[in-house]
Chains A and B, each alone.
Chain A
């Protein structure tokens, strides 16, 4: 009888342990345009998140406070449109999702902000949008750069290359660029560079001759284009046709594959792009985690990861590391861990974030990715000679 009792106790204990070893499910949401005209940005971001979740599950799941979680990614396809973004977010919330990656589009981020601000059990990590005022540092954080970081990259280029005058064309449908246009103009003037003209266009436009004729007549040394690569390519082509001889400076995420679908590569030669460093940049600079993601992405999807893959990769590792540090999957606990997180705390980061005071990754919810300029040569962007990067993360 005593033997039976011992066996029964052992069996009960073993079965309890076995139940404990089954991982619980944790769904992480994402708001990205996986269809529609901006899908060339968004699809890669979604694929990167799914790749990282799969890899985590293959290693037994995410260990948070001794509990193993099997991760899944729920996709909200916002098609880069505000109304669709709001609908997709509400659907994710209805499905009991408490963590959101994204959005990418600067039209979507301000639209979902009021909803996110009101939710105490929801946490957002923005990996794409650069719109102003969408990060609160309480339950919304951003690994993508702010619009000012984009603008400063251009400003640095203008001052370092002693450009005396500049004309600027901005996509008026790009919230991030429109909101920061006035500040950027003031910064340029303050740096001693004359702004000879400001013009606008919008996504989907195909004729820019009126604006370019005016800007060319103001004879700037450089023409800065702020928007998306489709229009950037057309403007570059039309500026050349209208006889513009100055330096053309882009300020936009522009994967070479997308650029070359809009303009013959020879016409791009010498165009400079000043933005936060992106995936291809880190690969060219041989950052180990970037090379690793490139290899894994190519193995799974058969192609190179796009420019924004680095932001989604980092958003994934930052969020999951914060969960582990918090020992909890409750949004407020994870948010607290994020505010205390240091750049060196997170493994597998690709972007070499500039740490804030005390090595912190975020200040008021905003991370600080470095920026640089690349020059188009042949069929892709090239780092200028001597370009190097200061490594700030574990690689």
Chain B
């Protein structure tokens, strides 16, 4: 069975890159705004659905992806303004309930528009790279590259721009950031826009690999929360590494233990990480003074 290890690791990296791509936007919003944004799964679904509609109307897939992703940005900003901003001071429970409600609303709206049955967008990059040790689809390689590109994009925005400086300041201390003249409302909108952009982009790309339906975001967003815990909430590198760790782990459990234990393996690791490193692999412990 060990001769299959290279293929299984490649399978894990391919699966992990899709997890990481979804987790990236979620960790940004959760890390900066402390909002458990469950509807991130629905933003992912909308990215896939918008792309499906545009392609169905004859648009080229590569043109449809940025348009669909930008449309999701608008939905994401609306989501924040309607669902979260007005109850921001209401505490974590209110935010969580609102997040769940928004998630259900978006699913229902999608069901009314597109129905409950799945749809698919044809893969724009068919073909498989075959080597002596493993095979991988060209499109899976593209998703891997897109995940790294998204991470780089967010990293550059956060660490090489004034906007990023303001976002980081806000995530560290809202009050101090405001006293420094940072407009919290605009920074909040920008943070949500970037999170939604990545979520929508993930949906646009992954919708060509997986069936598209209103509840398609439920499972990925659950996995994304697990990745947040593994990688450390708010840590971009943690989201990437956590995504790959989870993907590889799921594949190895399924391949070498039992395909019936795939999910149990995932959540067993989650519990172990919570016990050993409660702030995640890349999270920092907080000191309360």
Contact = CB atoms under 8 A, between A and B. Distances in A.
A interacts with B = yes
Interface of A: 35-37, 39-40, 172, 199-201, 204, 206-207, 209-211, 213-214, 217, 230, 233-234, 241-243, 258, 261-264
Interface in B99-118: 116-118
A214 B4 CA distance: 8
A228 to B, nearest CB: 11
Given A200-B259, A207-B15, A262 B211 contact: yes
Nearest to B209: A206
Interface in B146-194: none
A233 B260 CA distance: 20
Nearest to B119: A261
A313 B119 CA distance: 29
B205 interface: no
Nearest to B252: A210
B84 to A, nearest CB: 28
Nearest to A201: B259
Interface in B37-61: none
B4 A213 contact: yes
A262 B120 contact: yes
Nearest to B118: A261
Nearest to A206: B210
Contacts of B258: 200
Nearest to A267: B126
Interface string B241-263: 00000000011101100111010
B137 interface: yes
Given A213-B8, A243-B128, A204 B219 contact: yes
B123 to A, nearest CB: 8
B256 to A, nearest CB: 9
Contact of B251 (A36, A172, A210): A210
B117 A258 contact: yes
Contact of A217 (B4, B15, B128, B209): B4
A242 B135 contact: yes
Contacts of A214: 1, 4, 255
Contacts, number: 76
A264 B137 CA distance: 16
A40 B117 CA distance: 7
Given A204-B219, A210-B8, A217-B4, A241 B117 contact: no
A241 B259 contact: no
Contacts of A207: 11, 15, 250-251
Contacts of A40: 117
Contacts of A262: 118, 120, 211
Given A210-B255, A234-B210, A241-B135, A35 B4 contact: no
Given A204-B219, A234-B211, A242-B135, A263 B14 contact: no
Interface of B: 1, 3-4, 7-8, 11, 14-15, 116-120, 122, 128, 130, 135, 137, 209-211, 213, 215, 219, 250-252, 254-255, 258-260, 262
Contacts of A233: 211
A207 B250 CA distance: 10
A230 B211 contact: yes
A167 B128 CA distance: 23
Contacts of A201: 259
Contact of A241 (B1, B137, B210, B252): B137
B128 A213 contact: no
A46 to B, nearest CB: 15
A210 B137 CA distance: 15
B171 to A, nearest CB: 32
Contact of B7 (A204, A213, A261): A213
A90 B89 CA distance: 44
A87 to B, nearest CB: 20
Given A37-B213, A211-B259, 18 more contacts: A37-B215, A200-B260, A207-B15, A207-B251, A209-B14, A210-B11, A210-B254, A210-B262, A213-B7, A213-B8, A213-B11, A241-B128, A242-B7, A243-B128, A261-B119, A263-B120, A264-B120, A264-B122
Contacts of B11: 207, 209-210, 213
26 contacts: A36-B116, A37-B116, A37-B215, A39-B116, A40-B117, A200-B258, A200-B259, A206-B209, A206-B219, A207-B15, A209-B251, A210-B250, A210-B252, A210-B254, A211-B255, A214-B1, A233-B211, A234-B210, A241-B135, A242-B7, A243-B130, A243-B135, A261-B119, A262-B118, A262-B120, A262-B211
In the A-B complex, the 8 residue pairs with the closest CB atoms: A210-B254, A209-B11, A210-B255, A210-B251, A206-B210, A200-B259, A207-B15, A211-B259
A201 B3 CA distance: 23
B248 to A, nearest CB: 10
A327 B263 CA distance: 55
Contacts of B119: 261
A337 B128 CA distance: 60
A233 B209 CA distance: 11
Contacts of B251: 207, 209-210
A150 B213 CA distance: 29
A241 B117 CA distance: 25
Contacts of B120: 261-264
A197 B11 CA distance: 19
B258 to A, nearest CB: 8
Nearest to A38: B116
B259 A261 contact: no
Contacts of B122: 264
A15 to B, nearest CB: 52
B118 to A, nearest CB: 5
A201 B135 CA distance: 21
